[in-house]
Structure 1
Amino acid sequence: QWQNPLPQGDTLNDVWGSSATGFYAVGEGGTVLFYNGSSYSEMDTGVANTLSSIWADSLSNVYSVGDSSTVINYNGTSWQSIDPGMGNKTLKGVWVAGTGDIFIVGTVGSYGIYNGTDWTSGDLNVSTQNVLDVWGASASEVFAVGGNGEIHFYNGTDWSAMDSGFTGNHLNGVWGTSASEVFAVGGGGKIVFYNGTSWETMSTPGVTTPLRAVWGETSDNIFAVGGSTGTSTVVNYNGTSWEAMTPAETNRDLKGVWGSSGSDVFTVGNNGHIAHYNGTSWDTMPQGVFFGFIYDVWGTSPTEVFAVASGGNILFYNGTSWDAMTSPTAREHYAIWGESGSSVYIVGNLAIEGKSLYYNGTS
Structure 2
Amino acid sequence: MRWTRWIVPFLVLPAAGCSLLYPFDLPDAADGTVEADGGDGEAEAPPVCGDGVVAAPEVCDTALAPEPCTTACGSTGAWSCAADCRTRSCAAPVDESCNGADDDCDGSTDEGYECAAGLPVDCTSPCGVTGTATCTVTCERPPPWECRTGTELCNGCDDNRDGATDEGCACATGWAVEHPLAPGPESLQAISMTDRFGVVVGTFGNILHYDGTSWRRVASPAPHNMKTVFVSSPTFAVAAGFGAALARWDGTSWTTDTEVSSLVSVALYSVFVLARDNIWVSGGSGTMLHWDGAAWSRSDTHTVQHLYEVFAFGPNDIYVGGRSGTILHWDGSDWASIAPGWITDDVDAIWGADPGTVYLAGGNGLIVRYEPGEDRWTDLSVPTGESFTSMDGSSATNIWAAGGFAGGAIAHFDGASWSLDPSWPSIDRRGPMGLSVVGDDVYAVMHDGGILHRDAAGVWQPMAGAATVRLRSIWGASPQDVYASGVATTAGGSSTATAVLRYDGASWSLPHWLPRTDAQGLWVAAPNDVYLAEAGGTIPYWDGVRWTNLTLPVWGVRLAGIWGHDAANIFVVGQQATGDMAPAAFRGPAAPWRALALRPEALGIGLTAAHGVSADDLWVVGEAGTIARRAAGEDYLDQLASGTTETLRGVWAASATEAFAVGDNGTILHWDGTAWTPMTTSADPWYGVRLYAVWGTSAGNVFAVGEGGTALRYDGVAWAPLPVDLLDDLRGVWGSSANNVFFVADDRSGKIVHRCGASW
The match for 2:168 is none
The match for 1:54 is 229
The match for 1:88 is 265
1:290 positional shift? 11
Larger Rg computed on CA atoms: 2
Q: Where in structure 2 are the equivalents of 1:156-235 lying within 5 Å?
A: 156-197=332-373, 198-229=375-406, 231-235=407-411
Q: Which of 247, 251, 259 is matched with 2:437 structurally?
A: 259
The match for 2:453 is 276
- In structure 2, relative to structure 1, the CA distance for the partners of 1:153 and 1:289 (3 Å cut) is same
1:282 positional shift? 1.2
Whether the 8 Å CA contact 1:68–1:88 is kept in 2: the answer is: yes
Q: Map Cα deviations across residues 175-234 of structure 1 (whole Å, 9 max, x no partner).
A: 1122221111100000111112425243234222111010011011100001113x1210
Whether the 8 Å CA contact 2:283–2:307 is kept in 1: the answer is: yes
**CA root-mean-square deviation:** 2.3
Whether the 8 Å CA contact 2:369–2:380 is kept in 1: the answer is: no
The match for 1:132 is 308
Whether the 8 Å CA contact 1:98–1:138 is kept in 2: the answer is: no
In the alignment, residue 16 of structure 1 is paired with which amino acid? S
Whether the 8 Å CA contact 1:164–1:192 is kept in 2: the answer is: no
In the alignment, residue 101 of structure 1 is paired with which amino acid? N
Please give the alpha-carbon distance, in whole angstroms, between the structure 1 residues aligned to 2:313 and 2:248.
22
Q: Map Cα deviations across residues 75-101 of structure 1 (whole Å, 9 max, x no partner).
A: 000111112343211000000114731
What SS does the aligned partner of 1:104 have? strand
Please give the alpha-carbon distance, in whole angstroms, between the structure 2 residues aligned to 1:117 and 1:289.
41
Whether the 8 Å CA contact 2:241–2:269 is kept in 1: the answer is: yes
Q: Map Cα deviations across residues 265-286 of structure 1 (whole Å, 9 max, x no partner).
A: 2111211121111021111113
- 2:343 corresponds to 1:146: no
Please give the alpha-carbon distance, in whole angstroms, between the structure 2 residues aligned to 1:144 and 1:98.
18
Please give the alpha-carbon distance, in whole angstroms, between the structure 2 residues aligned to 1:144 and 1:16.
18
Please give the alpha-carbon distance, in whole angstroms, between the structure 2 residues aligned to 1:192 and 1:207.
14
Number of aligned residue pairs: 285
Whether the 8 Å CA contact 1:16–1:56 is kept in 2: the answer is: yes
Q: Map Cα deviations across residues 320-356 of structure 1 (whole Å, 9 max, x no partner).
A: x99xxxxxxxxxxxxxxxxxxxxxxxxxxxxxxxxxx
What SS does the aligned partner of 2:435 have? strand
1:54 positional shift? 0.8
In the alignment, residue 237 of structure 2 is paired with which amino acid? V
What SS does the aligned partner of 2:252 have? coil
Q: Which of the two has greater strand per residue?
A: 1
Please give the alpha-carbon distance, in whole angstroms, between the structure 1 residues aligned to 2:467 and 2:394.
29
Whether the 8 Å CA contact 1:190–1:201 is kept in 2: the answer is: no
Please give the alpha-carbon distance, in whole angstroms, between the structure 2 residues aligned to 1:17 and 1:131.
23
1:109 positional shift? 0.5
What SS does the aligned partner of 1:16 have? strand
Please give the alpha-carbon distance, in whole angstroms, between the structure 2 residues aligned to 1:290 and 1:112.
35
- In structure 2, relative to structure 1, the CA distance for the partners of 1:164 and 1:55 (3 Å cut) is farther
Q: Map Cα deviations across residues 126-182 of structure 1 (whole Å, 9 max, x no partner).
A: x12100010100011110110011111111221111123443310011111222211
The match for 2:674 is none
The match for 1:66 is 241
Whether the 8 Å CA contact 1:42–1:290 is kept in 2: the answer is: no
TM-score (norm 1): 0.73
Task: Name the % identity.
Answer: 22
Bigger Cα displacement from structure 2, 157-166 vs 236-245: 157-166
1:44 positional shift? 0.5
Please give the alpha-carbon distance, in whole angstroms, between the structure 1 residues aligned to 2:280 and 2:214.
32
Please give the alpha-carbon distance, in whole angstroms, between the structure 2 residues aligned to 1:100 and 1:192.
31
In the alignment, residue 176 of structure 1 is paired with which amino acid? G
Q: Which of 189, 197, 207 is matched with 1:22 structurally?
A: 197
- In structure 2, relative to structure 1, the CA distance for the partners of 1:184 and 1:117 (3 Å cut) is same
Whether the 8 Å CA contact 2:181–2:216 is kept in 1: the answer is: no
Q: Which of 165, 170, 183 is matched with 1:9 structurally?
A: 183
Whether the 8 Å CA contact 1:252–1:273 is kept in 2: the answer is: no
Please give the alpha-carbon distance, in whole angstroms, between the structure 2 residues aligned to 1:286 and 1:166.
43
- In structure 2, relative to structure 1, the CA distance for the partners of 1:272 and 1:200 (3 Å cut) is same
Q: Map Cα deviations across residues 26-77 of structure 1 (whole Å, 9 max, x no partner).
A: 1111211112344321111122121111112201100011011111000000
Whether the 8 Å CA contact 1:95–1:135 is kept in 2: the answer is: yes
